[in-house]
Amino acid sequence: MAKTISINAGSSSLKWQLFNMPEEQVVAKGLVERIGLKDSIFTIKYDDGKKYEEVLDINDHNVAVKMLLEKLIDLKIIKSFDEITGVGHRIVAGGEYFKKSALIDDDVLKKIEDLSALAPLHNPANAMGIKAFRKILPNITSVAVFDTSFHANMPKVNYLYSIPMEYYTKYAARKYGAHGTSHRYVANRCADIMGQPIEDLKLITCHIGNGASVCAVEGGKSVDTSMGFTPLAGVTMGTRSGDVDASLLPYLMDHLGMTDVHKMIDILNTKSGILGLSGISSDMRDIEAAVKEDNEAAELALEIYCDRIRKYIAQYISVMNGVDAIVFTAGVGENDTGMRERVLKPMTWFGIDFDVETNNKIHGKEAEITLPDSKIRAFVIPTDEELMIARDVEHFKKLGK
């Protein structure tokens, strides 16, 4: 039976699923967490309940991909690599090159690498994964699925910056967003749960993990999103600052004796956010453990994190002139009951009647977390970017590519 593997690399994670296609049957799935941090967690679930887990230091995504492929054989999940006929790679930044998914060839790979400036924590890792798979499985259908494609047709009023127009026309300087595959999946799934056509709904989807973004989805289409030209913009994240005043950069560079702006951008990407505010970790589990020990820096970092998400939700209610439902997804959004409560409980003015008791029970499964009479409904919906990716690969297989 033909198999497709979906690869979803985040800034500090590698999530994957192996499917029998076109049946969309999950054969195995796994997650590598805390890549680049101590005590990375490598997990594979397979064969109706079996689980392999190992804790070790995994320095980068290249090591994670190599280990994944080796374990598929070692655990007898597949007999040989010949069983895998397709691979789909989640790519964060497609720029203005890619309005939809693309069959990977040398030109597409080069463009992905060239677009690394738009997603410096992701596109290089994505390209590394592509190269690793091409080396081991050179003849299978290989597809790039772009996070930015869902946002590619946002209204100009929302994707253009208030800078000279020639910077857009000459250099494609605009908001691109990210996490589009996830936002697309959970928005459609939310419509299914609500029993309404997505064309009739106004939704705000919150993809909250180490990287985080909020998206306004109207009629099934992205009309605005919090990430910008790169995934650095928007809400506070694990290691990313989110929105800052651009004038702050030269001010800090002067005080730090720094002349290379790329070093400053690296600080905003890798040493800021929750990590920078708390001085503890970029992992929300570490922050919440510190909060329980009355660590003031951790408490402040967590409150800033939730405050920024709350502000974007309120902004997008205005953008769409209302909202029918708010969705939380991704690692933190699906599992962190305290974060969801901190974000939604203070928003009663908008008509959100938060269900504390139900929320506290929800970890990584679908559920509504507002009370029955809530004017605005809220849901936890685990994302399934991997299934969306596998479907795009299947599309190219059917074309004989």
Catalytic residue annotation: 147
Cα 240 from Cα 373, distance rounded (Å): 37
Beta bridge mates, 217? 203, 222
Q: Which of 117, 111, 29 is nearest to 75 (CA)?
A: 29
Cis ω for the linkage preceding 155 (within 30 of 0) = no
Cα 166 from Cα 164, distance rounded (Å): 5
Cα 25 from Cα 4, distance rounded (Å): 10
- Residues 68, 79 contacting (CB under 8 angstroms): no
Chain-centroid distance, C-alpha 264 = 23
Neighbouring C-beta atoms of residue 251, cutoff 10 Å: 10
> Which residue's entry shows tokens 């030209």?
229
Amino acid at 160: L
